[in-house]
Structures are given as C-alpha cells and as structure tokens.
Amino acid sequence: MTASKKVKIYLEIGRQRTFAAAVDWPGWCRSGKDESGAVAALVQAGPRYGRAVRSAHLEFAPPTEPEALSITYRLPGNATTDYGAPDRPLPGDATSVPEQEVRRLQAILRACWRAFDGATQAAAGRPLRKGPRGGGRDLAAIERHVLEAEAAYLARLGRRYEIGSGDPASELRAIRRVILVALAEAALVGTPPPGPRGGERWTARRFARRVAWHVLDHAWEIEDRME
C-alpha cells in the first residue's frame, strides 16, 4: 500500500495513556496504554465507526491492519489525555475550512448523534451493567453528561448555552442545532481569540473531533453495557 492511500492518523501520547485518532474522520479515536495498543484499538474500532457514520453517506473503508495507517503527528499529551480524553490540537487546525469540509464535518456530527440516539433508544428500560467495582452512570446520567459536555464544548467556541429543564432528548436536539451553526461560524474565524478571562478557544476542526469522539464514546459505552 502506498503512503498516499494510507489513512492519516495522529497519536496523543500521555504518561499513562495514548490516543490514536484519524486526522480526517472526527470520532474515530481510541486509546491504549501505549502507541501500539492505541493503534490496535483504533483498527479494531474501524468497522464500528463505519457503521456509526454510514448515515452520513461518506466513503469510509475501515482498514484491517495497522500497516494501513500513516502516523502523521506525535503530540505530547497532558493531564486531560491521562484522565481519558483527547485534548491536543493538530498543526493546521487553524487554516481556513472550505464550505465543503464544513458540510462534511456537520454530516459526521449528525451521524454520531444518530448513533448515540440509537443506543439510548435500544437501552431504554434495560439495566446497564456496572463496572468491576459497581460503578458507571445509568442511562439518564449518561444523557445528562453528554448534554453538559456539549454545552461546555460550545463555550470553547465562545458560545453560551443555557441548558433548560426539558427532557434530555429534547435538550440534546436543541443544543445540536446550535452546535451546527456555531461550527459553521467558527470555520470562518480560523484561530479564535482567547476568551474574556483568557480561556482557550478551539478551532472548528478541533471542536468537531472532540464532540464526535465524546458522543460516540458514550454511544459505544451504552451498547457495551446493555444487559
């Protein structure tokens, strides 16, 4: 396989955890204890990711072996990496985002949301297995967590979103509409200025990767924990 046909990925390397993620496929991101473990987990999740984004009608062909991947960046991780979330921007994130790419990112986010909604609907009324020490959120808590996280991510684009008192499904539908608009607006900005208190802002690409990863991570958690 030539280098040009390989899937571009990057590694975010922390002290205790490493993430492997596709550069051009937001949400296709897995972790391991080291580089080889993270890459192996990414390959293993390829078919699952393909099913999740199928509704976006994009051409995604999951690789079957690590040799089909090309590591383009190795980024130093941080405390968030070790805590369990990919957190580092990529070189080039701040370059202009063409309109066609904006539509593609929006389509992937919609597909990831549909995957999450499908998982929550399948799990409705069913208990979720607890972890080895009896931990783990119930379904309602997972939905609430995803909602709160997406509101927090929106703040990284400089958008404030007040979560209402409606049911989680309605609130998620509402915030998603705001996210799609905010993503398109952020694509025009490039590198956003810091917040009024010096808080870091995210670019459109970085935002899309984080939102897609987070919602898919919890969709798959629900699927894996259903009894």
Residue 38 maps to which CATH number?
Answer: 3.30.160
Residue 23 pLDDT greater than 60, yes or no:
yes
Cα distance between residue 66 and residue 7, in whole Å: 10
Read off the pLDDT of each residue in 188-210 and give the average, rounded to a whole number. 84
Helix, strand, coil percent content, the chain, rounded in steps of 5: 50, 10, 35
Handedness of CA 112, 116, 121, 126 (dihedral sign): positive
Quick one: 33 and 70 in the same domain?
yes
Domain that holds residue 184: 99-225
Judge whether residue 129 has pLDDT over 80: yes
Residues 76 and 113 in one domain: no
Same domain, 72 and 113: no
Question: 38 and 109 share a domain?
Answer: no
Number of Cβ atoms within 10 Å of the Cβ of 32 = 17
**Which among 33, 51, 83 is the end of a domain?**
83
191 vs 164, more confident: 164
Q: Tell how strand 29-32 and strand 18-22 pair up.
A: antiparallel
Same domain assignment for residues 206 and 127: yes
Q: What gap in Å lies between CA 167 and CA 186, rounded to an integer?
A: 28
Does pLDDT of 199 surpass 80?
no
Q: Say whether 160 sits in a helix, a strand or coil.
A: coil
Q: If you average pLDDT over residues 38-51, what whole number do you get?
A: 97
pLDDT value of position 189? 83
- Domain limit, last residue, from 25, 49, 83: 83
**Confidence at 4, pLDDT banded by 50, 70, 90:** low
Does residue 90 belong to any structural domain of this protein?
no
CA 164, 170, 171, 175 torsion-angle sign: negative
With a pLDDT cut of 70, the percent of the chain lying above it is: 95
**Which of residues 83, 110, 138 is at a domain's end?**
83
Residues 28 and 66 placed together within one structural domain of the fold: yes
The mean pLDDT of 141-170, rounded to a whole number, is: 92
Task: Give the residue-averaged pLDDT of 166-188.
Answer: 93
Residues 112, 172, single domain; the answer is yes
Residue 10 and residue 39: Cα distance in Å, rounded?
Answer: 10
Q: Which parts of the chain are beta strand (E)?
A: 7-13, 18-22, 29-32, 69-76
Predicted local distance difference test score (pLDDT) of residue 61: 92
Mean pLDDT of the chain: 93
- pLDDT at 168 exceeding the cut of 90: no
* Shared-domain flag, residues 78 and 110: no
| Residue that the structure tokens 């997972």 belong to | 142
Looking at the structure of the chain, the number of domains it has is 2
Does 107 lie in the same domain as 72? no
User: Around Cβ 222, how many Cβ atoms within 10 Å?
Assistant: 22
Q: What is the pLDDT of residue 9?
A: 97
Query: Is there a single domain that holds both residue 152 and residue 46?
Result: no
The burial of 98, by beta-carbon neighbours within 10 Å (0-12 exposed, 13-18 middle, 19 or more buried), is given as exposed
Predicted confidence (pLDDT) at residue 194 exceeds the cutoff of 80 = no
Q: Clarify whether residues 55 and 125 are in a common domain.
A: no
Q: Residue 134: what pLDDT? A: 63
3-state secondary structure of 78: coil
* Predicted local distance difference test score (pLDDT) of residue 1: 46
**CATH code of the domain covering residue 120:** 1.20.120
Among candidates 155, 93, 146, 89, which has minimal Cα distance to 116? Answer: 146
Question: Is the model's pLDDT at 144 over the cut of 50?
Answer: yes
